[in-house]
Structure formats: structure tokens, C-alpha cells
A and B are shown apart, each in its own frame.
Chain A
Amino acid sequence: MSWAKWTGSGGNSKPDMDTVIELLSTPIVQSVLLGILPLVFILVYALVVLYMEMKIAAHIQDRLAYMRTGWHGVLQPFADMIKLLQKEDVVPVQADQLLFRVAPYVVFGGTYAAYAVLPFSSMYIGANIHLGVFFLVAVSSLVVVGILMAGWASNNKWAIFGGIRSAAQMISYEIPTALAIVVAAMITGTLNLQEVTRFQDGGIQNWVVFGGALPLGKKLLILPFTLITFLIMFVASIAEVNRTPFDLPEAESELVQGFNTEYSGMRFAMFYLAEYANLFLVSAVAVSLFLGGWSSPFGSFMSGPVWGIFWFVLKAMFFVFMQIWIRWTLPRLRVDQLMYTSWKVLTPWLFACIFAVGFVLVA
């Protein structure tokens, strides 16, 4: 490849079309471009969900939210973004400089890495690996590390409280999430999210939440258990993204802002971006595992690679909406109630579901 030509260092020659095509056919450039697609999606989605959340919150409280910036305030997320870009990046003197600076990127990195295994459509998945869900659970634990890092590095009592609470909470709730994934994996027989989705293709009756594409007798027997599993997965996923009623790590009324108390400007924005990206991620995982991912609910009607993206995003956004709705409905749980919910309710019920589903599948 003529790099001299491409970089323009070889005299006055300009990069022509052939060079561009040659460059685009390089595997590494292709994978980088494909890998950037979810990031583009996250950035656009973050603006949409910011607007959505504020509007839903306001209307639930019989308010209007922003109405000035553009039609019904649609430009407000852009204004917020510009504001955050302009803000001073304050790092406390007593903070652990390196960890403080790195933490937001670790949090976002952990979330973004998990997007690699999300099947947006039958034609698009970042990395089609066999241990997709396993990778997802493993890599999204990096978020805990980042949050704990932020809490510790801030050298602030509220922040460290938030960080420790977050660690305790996310580790507790990763277990119900993982167990719920086990149920889905048992039914579909794979951990590859693309394969899991393909298993459920062909209409609403094949979705794992309704028993999956199994013979009718087995389906009816495991139907109640898959429904319970999905419900538990949904509850656990809310806890995993640290949102009300499980927002103990942030807990404005008791911990100021929790782990991101000391953050400002773009680093603060990074935490927010990660939170919203995580919101979509958990919804998307629940949708892929239980609600047919990109497959159309009407069988072959409106199905295809492009419709796939539409269905996938639509289903995930519905659960994002559900999480926002729940956030503005329920008050925060106490710490002991949070642990009770995870260890004494969700986990035992999931074990019961795993045994029941396993029994039906083997019998």
C-alpha cells in the first residue's frame, strides 16, 4: 500500500479513489469502521434518551420540561452537550490524579466493550463470538471497577460511599443476571447472542419469554418459569445500571451525587454517557435473550437485516422507557432491602426456575 501517497508526504500527489478503496479493503480498517458503528449509535441514542427521560419525568409530574430550545425543547440535549464541553475540568488537589482521570473512561470502556456482542441485526454484530453472553457479563463488570476507582480517587467521603455501595450492589445483582442468562442459554443451547436470536426467529410464539421454539407441550410447561426469569432479569438489570429504585450509589438525597460528586465537565458527561449506554445495553441483552432480538414478532412479515435493526432498537427502547417509567415511580430502597431483594428473592427464585426448566428440557 502506498502510504506516502495517502499521507500526502510524497510530493503533490493527492489520495485518489484507488487508494481509498485499497484502504477500505484492509481488514483492520474495516473492523475499526464496523466497531465504531455502535459508538455512533450510542452518541445519537444518548441525545434521544436524554430528551426522552426529561420529558417523561416532567410529564409524569404534570410539568412540561424544556420548551424553549427549538420545538418543545428538542435542541436541549445539544445545548447540554455544548455546556458540558465548555465546562472546566476540575480535578481536586487531594485526589488520586491518575485514577481520577482514568475512571470515567474505564466505566464507559466497559460498557462500550459489551456492545461488541450485541446483534443489532442478522447482518451486523460487532464480534460474532461463541461465548458472547459470557463475554458480556465479564466485561461489563469493568464498570464496577471504574466506579469504585472514581469513588476512591475522589478522596471524598460521599464518593467513596457511593463507590463501595455500587460495588456491593453490582456484584450482588450480577448473580441474578447471570442466572437468568443461564435459563435462556439452556433453552436456546448457545451463548452466542446471534444464535440465541436466530433460535427465536419466526414470530412472537418463538420468543424465549414464551417458552422458545420448542414443542408445544414443553413450551407450556416452561412458560411460567421463563416469564418469572424475564421479570427477574428485568429487575436485576435496573439494579445493574444503578437507577432508581436501586440508585444507592448515586442517592442524591443522602450522598450528594455518590461516586461522581467530584466530577465536572466532560468527565462527568462520560459517566452520564456510560449510564445511558448501560441502560440500553441491559435492555438490549434482555431483548436478545428473551424477546427475539432483531426478529420480527410477525414471523416473516417485516423481517430482514434492515427491519432487524428497527425491531431490535424498538424493543430495547421500550424497555429503556420502562426503566425511565419505573425510575419516576418508585422511591429508593434501603441498603438492606436491596440485599434482601437480590439474595433472598431473586436468586432463590431463579434457582427454582433453572431446575424447573432443566427438568422439562431433559424429560
Chain B
Amino acid sequence: MTAVLHYFYDIFYALYTVLVGMRITVKHLFTRSATVQYPTVKMKIPERARNRLYVNIDDCIGCDQCAMACPVDCITIETIKSTPDVDLGLTSKNTKKRLYVNRFDIDIAKCCYCGLCVYPCPTDCIVMTDVYEFSEFDRHNLVYSFSNMTAEDVVLARERLKKYDQEQAAKKAAAAPGPAKPNTTTPTA
């Protein structure tokens, strides 16, 4: 192409491309916008999305498996053994609960939403919910306590266990035939 032709070609090409661009933008001007008006309209989140953890404490057997699975150690569980005379009830899987769960704290600020705690749970009591709006002004409010035991309950359970342990120790001492005597006969060389 000669320089002169190139000059004219450039001008018409520029005009043409401007019109192409304007056609595209005007088309978008009248298409539906992609914006979701968030707080009033919410997007449907996927069925298996991992968000805030929830613990159904009535089902928890205090096995500590979730806490061990947690890669960031955000779950803290403390348990107290129960005595045979109390019935803690059954879980939804019809297994007997043997431990008081006096502390089940999840520091959700530390949680990395990996979901690894959910899989080992034998009673499926720790689950991922679809709640994702739980910001707080104070970081400490993000430590969620799921245990439903009151302070008195804990003291009571501890005392009962202590008493039971003492009783058991006493029983054991009574049943045993005295302290074992040391063997006096030494093997001859």
C-alpha cells in the first residue's frame, strides 16, 4: 500500500473501529446489569459451601477428634468423665454419651474454613453452615462457646467425679489382699 492510500485507509479504519466499539458499549448499556444488590439481595451459595461452623452440643461425645484434625488449632475441648450413676443420654446415632463437654470453644477468627473437622466427627455434630455474615467489632466476640454447661454444673460434675474416684479407690483397696509382700527368697547363684 502506498503512503497516501495508507493515510486514507487509517482514517476510515479508525472511524470504523470507533463505531464497532460504540456498538458494543451501547449494547451493554441496555443489557441487564450483573450487580447483585448485596445486603438486600443475596446470591444463592453453593450447597456444600464452607462458612461458619456450628456444633450441635447435644450430640457431642467429646471425643476431641475435630480439635485434633484442625490445622490451625481453633477448637478447644475440655471434658469431664461422667459417673455410672448419671445418664447423659444418647446421641442421634444411639451411642451412649460418657463425657460431660464442659468447654467447646471455636475461635472462628482463626478458622481457615477447611472443613477438616467435619469429616472425623462420629456423630456428625460439627457442621459447616451457610452463615457468612458474622463480623464483630471486638475480636473476642469471635470465640464461640458451644458448651451448654453452667459453671455450677461443671463444679458439680467435677465433685461427683472426685467422690466417685475416691469411692473406687477405697473399694479397690478393700478388695485387694493387702499390700504385696516382697519376695524374700532370692535365687541362688
Contact = CB atoms under 8 A, between A and B. Distances in A.
Nearest to A340: B10
B37 A64 contact: yes
Contacts of A325: 22, 25-26, 29
A40 to B, nearest CB: 30
A88 interface: no
A58 interface: yes
B21 interface: yes
A56 B30 CA distance: 10
Contacts, number: 40
B11 A59 contact: no
Nearest to A349: B11
Nearest to B10: A345
Interface in B31-86: 31-35, 37
Nearest to A59: B29
Contacts of B31: 62
B33 A329 contact: no
A344 B4 CA distance: 12
A58 B29 CA distance: 8
A61 B25 CA distance: 8
Interface residues of B, number: 17
B43 to A, nearest CB: 15
A329 B22 contact: yes
A176 to B, nearest CB: 14
Contact of B28 (A61, A64, A67, A326): A61
A60 B28 contact: yes
Contacts of B32: 62
B35 A64 contact: yes
B26 A62 contact: no
B149 interface: no
Size band of the interface chain A makes with B: 10 to 19
A200 B11 CA distance: 30
Given A329-B21, A330-B18, A330-B21, A59 B26 contact: no
A328 interface: yes
Nearest to B28: A60
Interface in A105-125: none
Contact of B29 (A56, A344, A345): A56
A56 B26 CA distance: 10
Nearest to B34: A62
B146 to A, nearest CB: 37
A58 B22 contact: no
B184 to A, nearest CB: 94
B5 to A, nearest CB: 15
Contacts of A87: none
A160 B159 CA distance: 81
A314 to B, nearest CB: 19
Interface string A333-349: 00000000000110000
Given A56-B29, A59-B29, A67 B37 contact: yes
B25 A329 contact: yes
A60 B34 CA distance: 11
Q: Which of B22, B29, B32 has the most CB of A within 10 A?
A: B29
Nearest to B19: A329
A272 B174 CA distance: 96
A62 B18 CA distance: 20
Contacts of B37: 64, 67
Given A330-B18, A345-B11, A60 B33 contact: no
A226 B106 CA distance: 76
Nearest to A56: B29
Contacts of A60: 25-26, 28-29
Contact of A328 (B11, B25, B30, B34): B25
Contacts of B25: 60, 325, 328-329
A326 B20 CA distance: 11
Given A56-B29, A345-B11, A63 B22 contact: no
Nearest to B30: A59
A56 B35 CA distance: 14
Contact of A62 (B11, B22, B33): B33
Nearest to A245: B18
B33 A59 contact: yes
B33 A63 contact: yes
Nearest to B23: A329
Interface in A295-352: 325-326, 328-330, 344-345
Interface in A46-62: 56, 58-62
Given A56-B29, A330-B18, A63 B34 contact: yes
Return the 4 tightest CB-CB contacts between A and B, nearest first. A64-B35, A329-B25, A329-B21, A62-B34
19 contacts: A56-B29, A58-B33, A59-B33, A60-B26, A60-B28, A60-B29, A62-B32, A62-B34, A63-B34, A63-B35, A67-B37, A325-B22, A325-B29, A326-B22, A329-B21, A329-B22, A330-B18, A330-B21, A344-B7
Interface of A: 56, 58-64, 67, 325-326, 328-330, 344-345
